[in-house]
Amino acid sequence: MKVTKEKLHELIQTKLHRAGLTEEHAGIVADVLVHADVRGVHSHGAMRVEYYAERIAKGGINTNPTFTFEKTGTASGVFDGDNGSGHVAAKLGMDRAISMAKENGVAIIGVRRIAHSGALSYFVQQAAKAGMIGISVCQSDPMVVPFGGAEPYYGTNPIAFAAPAENEEMITFDMATTVQAWGKILHARSKHEAIPDTWAVDQNGEPTTDPFKVNALLPIAGPKGYGLMMMVDILSGVLLGLPFGNRVSSMYHNLSEGRNLGQLHIVINPAFFTDANQFKANITKTMQDLNGMKPAPGFDRVLYPGQNYDLIEKENEVNGIEIVDEIYDYLVSDVIHNNQYNHKSPFAK
């Protein structure tokens, strides 16, 4: 089923508003989810709506949060999300960081006590659209075996980066510190497709191609990914005085309680380090240089990091966004949720 961005946004906002979010907050969540779907990152798009709706309906996302912001230094601060929607708190926290970096050149804002916030690329693009470099990291619940380990400790703990180029272009990079994000497993489940045997292991620690048998994910590049997810957990959890490592709350355990997650935004204003226009010109040149490189056998061209998603976005803007039929059917139905996500295991089917 293909739908336009506008229609998908309307369906998501309506469903989340009916679940209990204010119309404004539902609209912001819809912004972030549609951003993911239009870029082809369906693992963080409309497929998440029913989970959010169930958690909202059961009280695990505060529908009337009291957001507070404490400026802790010239270029630092902490935004408390009061366990409201993570998408909303993360967006408002990035707004604060952008404002602070305009004045001081850099900003580091911790966003604490929030629910799941979706695709980090949305938030770093906020900074790039303002002419700045954006970096964001966030913790997630334990579902990854540490290098050499047999049981999960860290989450997928993603990292995102964006920088502005000329003509309102930007370069965006968003990655999980696992070989693949958990949402990709969920997307494979929704389409009943196999996964590569390098993504995850089953309950015996053996590689699996069955998304329904996944019991833990694998860190990207072995010990290197393991180190990166440790770094992210410290920056977005330990640094903000939040639960960390295998103490981070499960996405699917007790949907009536807030998750107390953390996220860290770093914004850098190029004008404090170089000529801002030249910076954008050099980012454009970087993108052009990479596209102009001789491709290896089997490749048509060299893409700069994240360009594959940029190309998908441009195509979907014109042709519409492909949504799995059962997800579309849920969005247009009168059902708020089907009471299917309140499980103790993050790997529940």
Where in the sequence numbering do the catalytic residues fall? 116
Least Cα distance to 183 among 203, 155, 206 occurs for 155
Rounded (10°) CA dihedral 286, 291, 297, 300: 160
Read off the tokens for 247: 């103490």
CB 39 within 8 A of CB 309: yes
CB 261 within 8 A of CB 86: yes
CA distance 80 to 65: 10
List C-alpha distances in Å: 52 to 198, 228, 264.
Answer: 29, 28, 22
Least Cα distance to 264 among 129, 96, 141, 144 occurs for 96
DSSP 3-state of 300: coil
CA distance 172 to 121: 7
How many DSSP H helices and E strands does the chain contain?
10, 11
Residue 105: phi, psi to the nearest 5? 95, -35
Contacts of residue 134, Cβ cutoff 8 Å, sequence gap at least 6: 94, 123, 124, 125, 126, 127, 128, 160, 161, 162, 163, 265, 266, 267
Read off the tokens for 317: 């803007």
CA distance 121 to 145: 25
Contacts of residue 42, Cβ cutoff 8 Å, sequence gap at least 6: 36, 183, 187, 323, 324
What does DSSP say about strands 261-268 and 133-138: parallel, antiparallel, or unpaired?
antiparallel
Total Cβ atoms within 10 A of residue 208: 21
DSSP 3-state of 170: strand
